[in-house]
Chain A
């Protein structure tokens, strides 16, 4: 029958020309900065750096020199070394906390959006309670009971991120679960697990990933604020936030002590956002099709 012909050139013509879209220089600068930050944070122990906790009371707030590339802080500790070790803490907390959020929040959101009903009401309700709780008070309470540690800090920030990830996952699942391809899978007799993992997860993952990178950026800032307030990592460990907090005391004599970690944090957060946006734009399957 004449209906069953589809010219081959026709098929080739359907290939989107935009497979390799230009990523732009900004994206590569962001990638470069991230690579640098990750590299020095990971290999901090191997770098020929002075110890970040060694105090030299004779050289307090020393200016930039060959010995101290970025000078020293109010207690005479090497600023560059503190910055690099601080990057470790900021990145560990900044990455691990959103992982907690995305795993628990994402799973809850998908289940709530797919099964609806009472389970959804329960999840949404409890998340609203969590959101309504002032985060600073929660952080204060937990650190007061369990003590100040990186692990506790990460857990607090992670838990605080759950409602946001739950909302993103639920919203995406809600709209997807009504789409025909999900109904088609149900009609095929696929199990709920299979539908959640094979049909929904790949589609929900992308908005979640984009939000995850945003979450990393936000967490780094929040960790900074908490450390700034003295609720973050316990001294003498440095994080960017605690460095800014300590630098505040000498803002008039040595402004670089607050500004250098602030700039590092600014660039890192900006890079995460830039990369997140680009990845989201890149992997949207519909963009290629005009």
Chain B
């Protein structure tokens, strides 16, 4: 494996392909993606909407069927698992969603919602459940006595996201997939949730896959960052290195597009006019070529392979910037 990060990665995705049809048309959501996440690491996954990053997250959890490829979690092939063993494995992997309010059942009380994973995994003793729930609610900064009996609509978005994090933590998982956990939240609340995730990561010894469209947010929490474009991986590398010296023109474009809160930096106007093509009919060769300033004939005919451009940094580009 070229982008091997450790000898014993917790999650290893190999040549994953996910396609699904909408209205008779095939959407190439994830095309031939390979990734590794080491134990205790946070991998940030960025890309624009429709690039397949959420689909990738769900395919890892087997919530979406892959067309081909393997997902190895702790050495076990998740796709080959079924029924009980898959359910057991899922308890080690949890998911946090973008819309915290929609991910809580509006008719169940917070105490029940957070206890649900325990019930499913067979913790029979209600007192023990209550104890675990109240521990984990306190850990995410909520008062169990005040919160347990209430319904989700009584809470703000930020508090609901805390509850979702509590639910994800209650089974003591090893791996959490955070799918845009802060993009629905206000700036002031966003920082609270990001800090909380970081704190929980150290406290519970978690490994995170952090999916987001906001590069600045991803950089704040990730050890390594993977950039996705139209279902393909463009670039993978250590966060700081990737931001300092992006190799893929798309990564560079994304970094350039971030609005900087500094009035002295006049926004540059070099961003090409153009929009991502449809994932129904992605361009041939390199999928970014239609918006890429460096594209040439080779980019149209040949799919670029992910290759090493610097130590630990990999890019899928025929004309990398470094």
Contacts and interface: CB of A to CB of B under 8 A. Distances in A.
Interface residues of A, number: 32
A63 interface: no
Interface stretch (B113-121, B126-134, B252-260): B113-121
Contact of A1 (B61, B88, B159, B199): B199
Given A3-B199, A187-B95, A179 B156 contact: no
A274 B159 CA distance: 36
Interface string B24-64: 00000000000000000000000000000000001001010
Contacts of B97: 180, 183-184
Interface in B109-157: 116-117, 120-121, 140-143, 146-147, 151-156
Contacts of A186: 63
Contact of B167 (A5, A184, A203): A184
Nearest to B179: A180
Contacts of A191: 87
B245 interface: no
Interface string B66-110: 000000000000000000001110110111011100111111100
B4 interface: no
B301 interface: no
A202 B195 contact: no
Interface in A170-202: 179-181, 183-191, 194, 198-199, 202
A3 B143 CA distance: 14
A186 B65 CA distance: 14
A8 B195 contact: no
Interface stretch (A11-19, A143-151, A153-161): A11-19
B196 interface: yes
19 contacts: A3-B196, A14-B159, A16-B154, A180-B98, A184-B95, A186-B63, A187-B63, A187-B90, A187-B93, A188-B91, A189-B87, A191-B87, A194-B120, A199-B108, A203-B105, A285-B107, A286-B106, A288-B153, A289-B154
Interface of B: 58, 61, 63, 86-88, 90-91, 93-95, 97-99, 102-108, 116-117, 120-121, 140-143, 146-147, 151-156, 159, 164, 167, 171, 191-192, 195-196, 199
Interface of A: 1, 3-6, 8, 11-12, 14-16, 179-181, 183-191, 194, 198-199, 202-203, 285-286, 288-289
